[in-house]
Chain A
Amino acid sequence: MSEITKAILQAREAGGCAFVPYIMAGDGGLDRLKEDLLFLQEAGATAVELGIPFSDPAADGPVIQEAGLRALSAGTTLKAVIEEVKAIREEVHIPIIFMTYLNPVLSYGMAGFANDCQEAGIAGVIVPDVPFEESEPLEDCLRMNGIDLIRLIPLSAPEDRIRKIVEAAEGFIYAVTVDGITGVRDSFGGTTDGRLERLKAIADIPVLAGFGISAPEHVRDFGRTADGVIVGSAIVDALHRGEREPIKELIGSAKDIAVPAE
């Protein structure tokens, strides 16, 4: 079983749901990466999604766009992030998942990227601008190195498409709860109209909900149906302001979830 799947199932068995914070590598300088990762590990994160900055992040909202620009101005590159992760990997025990747009990977070289990720102990990779139809070359490179290609599935996707992607999915399924970009949303209109339940019923690996999840009540709501949540903009924003308490509170909210009986 994949390292990531295992970590998620453990969080579930402990009576909560998985909590995967997203942070932008190099926001505030790459030398604070270790401190941030250790803080998130200490606070109880199940795994960490580590964003690689890109000049044209078309799937991201303003908070992550700005964090990416700050990271780029600080000189952050994919190569430097991989090297930094490699250097600190022994102290970080939770799985690290890269989230990067395709072009920095193409520039790096796909095979070399997969190989160096493996050496740095990266457990999974998410590439938001690589849909199912374009995923084969990347999946092959990553698989050869034992790294999961994490796939996104929008809840709005037609059922036959969901089934096709689920079949290829590894690690966990990243359920995109809203059609749109990343970023804080006040409300989800109360419900996902049973679509998260539908996805969960089809999936044979854990399902994590993401996009727009920013408050403890969102975590508790989604944590009942999904196996966990991914929180990005709210974490990036809090880290940027140097506020750690709201992050602890968010992660804490995933620790005790009243899961409905099967």
Chain B
Amino acid sequence: MVNTTEQKAYQAPDKTGRYGEYGGRFVPETLMPALLELETAYREAKEDPEFVAQLEYYLKDYVGRENPLYFAERLTENAGGAKIYLKREDLNHTGAHKINNAIGQALLAKRMGKTKIIAETGAGQHGVATATACALLDMECIVFMGKEDIRRQELNVFRMELLGASVVSVDQGSGTLKDAVNEALRYWVANVSDTHYVIGSALGPHPFPEIVRDFQRVIGAETRRQILEKEGRLPDAVVACVGGGSNSIGMFHPFVDDTEVALYGVEAAGSGIETGKHAAALTGGRPGALHGAYMYLLQDEAGQINEAHSISAGLDYPGAGPEHSHFRDTGRVTYTSVTDEQALEALKMLSRKEGILPALESSHAVHYAVELASGMSPDQIVVICLSGRGDKDVMTVRDALKGGDGNV
């Protein structure tokens, strides 16, 4: 019998913000009152029908939800196994899932009386989404971005500026996402009274991982409803990419209690796990504390954080959020990894077979899902979270292919 209602056997986080042993609030004292205030405000907002209605309104009429769950027929034929569906987060306004959370948090911040929003960004998608929400809600917006990422994602920097945001270049460390988070935290500590920090991934101190998950949960909730409508049953497997882990946690969470649904999180293996140049914290890291949370991290023996490496700026982070860390240990989600090269191949394949240019981040999930589907039977179903579109990556992809055999 098909289970059509969502059960709630799985409950996390607990009162201290823990998912199993992961999570918590490892931040300077100065931020604690702000985190406690945020937690209270969030609990109130969640229960307030007006807030819920407002969020739903923007998600529908502004973001364009619900977006389709699309049966990828030619990709399915090509894989030669299970039916493959794509959850089209790439069709959202601003081109990725990031807007779901950005609008939610910006509405929450406005409700709390904050006038200024800060955000970190890697690929620029979260920065663009936050700048967009701030333009819409008339709030000041500052986006911290690593110097290296600014170079890789020039177009998104310009988009943010067009939207009225200031983009601050972060030169410290490796000049990527983790350094942008450090700088955003430093700014927040100094400006905590009028500023809300819109964290873009399912990371950071409690209650951020919970808030981000809840705002991204719409992805999985829609998918679950849509697949039941189309197929009359739940999928056999759901696949999503994991950097910090926001699209994946939003996709997985509504399926956690459906034990017949296998969940796969795909990390960035960069040049290959064995080369040490990768961003796969769950596959190749160990637990530690960074940016407010206890979670799996890439680190050396002495506890210094290692730089992450991935062709995709959005996965280029040395940790994976606390709830993913918990799911790794419990085994509810299987975490695996895909190299730069494999992701590029998947990007080309989806473009050719379906006319859909996926983001490099999402291409990691596409590669693994196609491999998975090819080993399954035609009466089985695999759903891929297509978290974003690839327009932002065109230059990177061109450079990478030129550096290779030169053939597109």
Contacts and interface: CB of A to CB of B under 8 A. Distances in A.
Real complex partners, A and B? yes
A57 B182 CA distance: 7
Interface in A22-68: 54-59, 61, 65
Contacts of A59: 28, 186, 189
Contact of B304 (A55, A102, A133): A55
Interface stretch (A116-124, A176-184, A199-207, A241-249): A176-184
A256 interface: no
Interface string B164-208: 000000001100001101100110011111000000000000000
A128 B29 CA distance: 8
Interface stretch (B219-227, B283-291, B354-362): B283-291
A198 interface: no
A179 B299 contact: no
Contacts of A102: 26, 289
A259 interface: no
A15 interface: no
Contacts of B29: 131-132, 151-154, 157, 165, 176
Nearest to B301: A107
A161 B28 contact: no
B186 A58 contact: yes
Nearest to A108: B303
B304 A131 contact: no
Contacts of B396: none
A154 B289 contact: no
Interface in A151-201: 151-154, 156-158, 161, 165, 176, 178-181
B27 to A, nearest CB: 6
Nearest to B172: A65
Nearest to B190: A180
B305 A180 contact: no
Contacts of A108: 302-303
Contacts of B31: 131
Interface string B315-329: 000000000000000
Contacts of A154: 29-30
Contacts of A104: 302-304
Interface in A90-134: 102-108, 128-134
B213 interface: no
Contacts of A77: 302
B33 interface: yes
A145 to B, nearest CB: 20
A72 interface: yes
Contact of A103 (B16, B25, B182, B290): B290
Interface string B1-45: 000000000000000100000001111111111000000000000
A179 B189 contact: yes
Contact of B27 (A131, A151, A161, A178): A131
A143 interface: no
- A contact residues, range: 35 or more
A161 B305 CA distance: 32
Contacts of A57: 182
A107 B289 CA distance: 10
A56 B178 contact: yes
B305 A56 contact: yes
A227 B351 CA distance: 68
A55 B28 contact: no
A58 B302 CA distance: 18
A165 B299 CA distance: 32
A106 B33 contact: no
A196 to B, nearest CB: 15
A152 B288 contact: no
Contacts of B289: 102-103, 106, 129
Contacts of B26: 102, 129-131, 134
Contacts of B33: 156-158, 161
A131 B289 CA distance: 13
A34 B287 CA distance: 34
Contacts of A72: 304
B208 to A, nearest CB: 14
Interface centre among B30, B181, B182, B191 (most CB of A within 10 A): B30
A179 B288 contact: no
Interface of A: 54-59, 61, 65, 72, 77-79, 102-108, 128-134, 151-154, 156-158, 161, 165, 176, 178-181
11 contacts: A54-B303, A54-B304, A55-B173, A58-B182, A58-B186, A65-B172, A103-B303, A104-B303, A131-B29, A161-B32, A176-B30
